[in-house]
Structure 1
Amino acid sequence: MKLNKYLFSVFTVAAALFLSSCSDFLDRSPQGQFTEDDNPNALVNGKIYNVYTMMRNYNITAGPPALAIHCFRSEDAEKGSIASDGSDVEQMYDDFLYTPDNGLLGAYWGQNYAVIYQCNDILGSIAAKETAGQTESEDIVNKGEASFFRAYCYFNLVRAFGEVPLVTYKINDASEANIPKTTVDKLYEQIDNDLKTAEESLPETWSSEYTGRLTWGAARSLHARTYMMRNDWDNMYTASTDVIKKGLYNLKTPYDEIFTDEGENSGGSIFELQCTATAALPQSDVIGSQFCEVQGVRGSGQWDLGWGWHMATELMAQAYEPGDPRKNATLLYFRRSDSEPVTPENTNEPYGESPVSQAIGDYFNKKAYTDPAMRKEYTNKGFWVNIRLIRYADVVLMAAESANEKGLPGEAADYLEQVRARARGTDSDILPKITTTDQSELRDAIRHERRVELGMEFDRFYDLVRWGIAKEVLHAAGKTNYQDKNALLPLPQTEIDKSKGVLIQNPDYQ
């Protein structure tokens, strides 16, 4: 276990415990029930560390709400597990039978707003100079971190729901949070402003005790992603190439190592949430997360690694070119019964395991697969595994896509080749270099590369939406219930009810 990975976790855990008086706040709904009861003497530094803990929460990054909204809706992933486990979730997110009463909607909405409100409190304290005991440089960094996380959560919300309430101030009374929805343009304007603040406030690097803390590169990369969602090619190109030109990140880590313990916080990691486990707390979501437990092999005995949610489809497997090593690094093979023989085809590297499961999906997500030695030391559930949120390869592919759309095929092909070259490694017989300069052909190649490089991560559905091909692709995959309106989810009915008519349901679901 690497020491530097866990030093920053110590700070975030201490903050979570220090702010334990407001733990119930994390479970509160943001519309109609919010009251401020944070420890008034808590340092802003402590509160911002607590936000990192909040970001590991089951409802925003680690559990079914985030996985369902970001992943299950694509053609490459599905709920998986077994038929009796979460059938309502399968109908909602795999089959696009949307209902505002679905519980995951409210959980996702609530945790994003919980983070936003905490960030508003931090930013308000800094603006009012209520940060006794902190230096000016600490205030600047805290302002950048809070601005980043607020932007991150509003980006989550605007992609998922479209128009949502925009609250950028400290809430002292529930009525102050009960406001109408804001236009998408205004939400993105706030996201842009917050990310600009983050870019101006955050350092490029941190010393090892702060491994995992936000940086300029994380803010600029997230900004590129928000421009990507808007198909704003000029700003997307500028933001992504700004990150590349800094030379802070690289693609040197072999692909099959990225999602292992050894690959955490590698040169290709721009932002990942730090998770850990201890002998006393082997599976605590205060210091770790349920990210691997939710996605782990659903089996029994030694193969009881988790719930088996978020499984890859056969279409995901078919997307890889012959010999692409990213296939074996993304898809976790398994047997359906103990009597099924172990073969090279169902044995997973690097651990030589062939799990057994009755899950209904085709493959588990290997990017949430855990080291058996660590399982023996702590627990089968993998609470110590970091959650990768922004990878450098994504930024390079954003540069490739925006360059191609701007009519710069040479640059686009060069960026594309960087990603393919890392995947290819020393095997020159696979993943041939893309040499076309035709914009349409290059567009298809870049889209393919995003699919396989970022397979089973968080953005495939949103890629389909922004490219305007979601209906075509999903219908071809058999998800024929999908209609254009399903790009946006209905607002949680619980929030509408609590607002007493202030919050209006999305028009397609009224």
Structure 2
Amino acid sequence: MQLKSFKINKPILNIKALNNTLYLRFFLKRFYYSVSAILIFFTGTGCKKFLDKEILGNYPETEFYQTQQQAVLAINAAYQPLAFYTPQNRLWVFGDVASDDAAKGGNAGDQADIGLIDDFNITPINGNLEDEWALLYEGVTRCNIVLAKVPPISMDATLQARILAEAKFLRSWYYFTLINIFGDVPLVLTPLNADQLQVPQSPMTTIFESVIEPDLIDAAMHLAPAYAGADVGRATSGAATALLAKAYLFQKKWDQAASAANQVISSGIYSLMPVYNQNFNVNFKNNSESVFEFQHLSGQVPFTGNVLNQWFAPAVDGGYYFDAPTQDFVDEFEKTSSGLYDPRLDYTVGRDSMPWFNGEIFSKDWSPTGYLTKKYQQPFSEISKALKGDGSVDYMAIRYADVLLWYAEALNELGRSAEALIPLNEVRKRARESYLYDTFLPGYGTVPDGLLPDVTVTGQDDLRQAIRHERRVELGFEFHRYFDIIRYGDTYAIQALLDKPNFNYSINQHFPIPQSERDRNHALH
């Protein structure tokens, strides 16, 4: 990555840059400093945004990374690239729009690069590739700085160990996301100068086994199982173990995946919420089902809101109506013999003539597919139309339901199908029993006959399909689907994406590395 570097005589670190990039409430409430500074932040494209960036301001680097408080500031900043308070975070494009669950949505000519991904007409100059690559490596770089600069600081040893564990967890998250989107990528584990950035790709297997797995194992040992007060939202030991389970699952290391998932389940810390859609309600942030959650707050300076509240909303509500559900996704939901749907359908999707937000009735004319997602959207009573892009709903990156379904999948692949039914049916039970707790559901108080009965099949192939179906309806529009499709293999993927004639499994398992990155880094193959 042969990059331009900012030339200054004294490297100086901008404390306000760290301050302005944190979205977590523990930082917003505790550590806001009025420091006048120059913020070099997400300007330009590609690697220029992260790997060679010197953070400028009015604190010489020799005067920063000196205190415990500064160590906390540094790790807080490493969380920032996770959040959806910038449109640059396009995880939903790769997870949803590329899949069979969603179409681009929006006006026909708006965000054309998203449409090209939807159609699998993808070239390395696609802006979504540039944005996501830059954002994820920004996260990697911030973690690498923490891991390099915090160990020499004289500070509380337990807090220091926790900060380093948070950095390892976050770096694992960023690399896990990078390799699932781009495949083999450059592995950078220390802060590098511009003249050190000709870095070839490392194989995915190497990144999994030499970085993600050992870092998550170590992180789980030093992270707290839970936090209180202003620290709620930090990575926990359960989050590290859960991400480790997911990493094993994606590699088909079924024994290790089952063991790690069971460790999360057996901890007794997590449980399913009584009503499914409480996981997407601002009044139930960081609830018992949340294993790891990207935090958002509205009305903050610097901005820390969730822009998806506007990007996914209909035009009548001041939105752009992107990430529109497909008919194929809607048809995946089960219904009873009397025509009553799985309640997760209407918790997830706006359908014609059905209740919407703000007392409105949804119209199919609001979306090019006839549907919009409800997740990450809020009524005007919470976020006004004038401030639509400043949402406060979090993104639950790992839910306990997800862990249960990982466990079911791993057990089934190990030939332990009868055991796999238990976590699978726990997820289905919560879905149908929303009728016992949600007063807005018609017929509240009684579970309708025949709704989402327990799965009883124990044949491995049949149960595999049942688990895959359950993942699709349970986790729809949480940006997981395309990555599931790809890891299920070519036969499944080709069938799932029949309506995308340009899709080629051997080519499209991963997205191309941005051209601007190749132009700078000639070590890439």
**2:411 is the counterpart of 1:403:** yes
Which residue of 494, 508, 515 corresponds with 1:472?
A: 494
The equivalent of 1:294 in structure 2 is 311
Letter in 2 for 1:492: P
| Shift of residue 223, structure 1, vs aligned partner | 1.0
Which residue of 313, 331, 335 corresponds with 1:318?
A: 331
Higher helix share: 1
Secondary structure of the residue aligned to 2:252 is: coil
The equivalent of 1:339 in structure 2 is none
Q: 1:103 to 1:252 in 2, by over 3 A?
A: closer
Q: 1:215 to 1:20 in 2, by over 3 A?
A: farther
Which residue of 354, 368, 372 corresponds with 2:361?
A: 354
Contact 2:308 2:377 in 1 (8 A): no
Question: Residues 12-51 of structure 1 correspond to what in structure 2 (within 5 A)?
Answer: 12=28, 21=37, 23-27=39-43, 31=47, 34-37=52-55, 39=59, 40=61, 41-42=64-65, 43-51=70-78
Name whichever of 34-43 and 322-331 sits farther off.
34-43
C-alpha separation in 1, matches of 2:36 and 2:455? 54
| Shift of residue 66, structure 1, vs aligned partner | 1.6
Name whichever of 81-90 and 148-157 sits farther off.
81-90
Deviations 1:363-382 (A, max 9, x none): 11111220221123972234
Secondary structure of the residue aligned to 2:166 is: helix
Question: Residues 66-465 of structure 1 correspond to what in structure 2 (within 5 A)?
Answer: 66-91=91-116, 93-127=117-151, 129=152, 131-132=153-154, 134-171=155-192, 173-189=193-209, 190-278=211-299, 281=300, 286-297=303-314, 299-300=315-316, 303-304=317-318, 306-322=319-335, 323-333=341-351, 345-348=353-356, 352-355=359-362, 358-376=366-384, 379-425=387-433, 426=436, 427=447, 429=449, 430-465=451-486
Contact 1:13 1:287 in 2 (8 A): no
Q: 1:82 to 1:117 in 2, by over 3 A?
A: same
Contact 2:84 2:306 in 1 (8 A): yes
| Shift of residue 211, structure 1, vs aligned partner | 1.5
Deviations 1:166-202 (A, max 9, x none): 000122x212232111111111121112211211110
Contact 1:81 1:361 in 2 (8 A): no
Letter in 2 for 1:205: A
C-alpha separation in 2, matches of 1:48 and 1:22? 20
C-alpha separation in 1, matches of 2:386 and 2:158? 38
Deviations 1:330-380 (A, max 9, x none): 00235xxxxxxxxxx33237x532256643133111112202211239722
C-alpha separation in 1, matches of 2:208 and 2:23? 34
| Shift of residue 269, structure 1, vs aligned partner | 0.8
C-alpha separation in 1, matches of 2:464 and 2:71? 45
Q: 1:20 to 1:109 in 2, by over 3 A?
A: farther
Contact 1:82 1:359 in 2 (8 A): no
Letter in 1 for 2:77: N
| Shift of residue 472, structure 1, vs aligned partner | 2.3
The equivalent of 1:502 in structure 2 is 523
Kindly report the root-mean-square deviation, in angstroms, between the aligned alpha carbons of the 2 structures: 2.4
Q: 1:474 to 1:19 in 2, by over 3 A?
A: farther
Deviations 1:300-328 (A, max 9, x none): 4xx21x22111111111100001200000
The equivalent of 2:511 in structure 1 is 489
Q: 1:359 to 1:16 in 2, by over 3 A?
A: farther
| Shift of residue 30, structure 1, vs aligned partner | 6.3
| Shift of residue 256, structure 1, vs aligned partner | 2.6
The equivalent of 1:11 in structure 2 is 27
Name whichever of 42-51 and 136-145 sits farther off.
42-51
Secondary structure of the residue aligned to 2:361 is: coil
Q: What TM-score, normalized by structure 2, do the two folds share?
A: 0.84
Q: 1:361 to 1:58 in 2, by over 3 A?
A: farther
Q: What TM-score, normalized by structure 1, do the two folds share?
A: 0.87
Letter in 1 for 2:108: A
- How many residue pairs align between the two structures? 471
The gaps in structure 1 that reach 5 residues or longer are: 1-5, 335-344, 505-510
The equivalent of 1:53 in structure 2 is 80
Secondary structure of the residue aligned to 1:368 is: coil
| Shift of residue 463, structure 1, vs aligned partner | 0.8
| Shift of residue 19, structure 1, vs aligned partner | 8.8
Contact 2:84 2:305 in 1 (8 A): no
Secondary structure of the residue aligned to 2:387 is: coil
Contact 1:9 1:287 in 2 (8 A): no
Letter in 2 for 1:213: R
Contact 2:248 2:256 in 1 (8 A): yes
C-alpha separation in 1, matches of 2:131 and 2:35? 21
Letter in 2 for 1:316: F
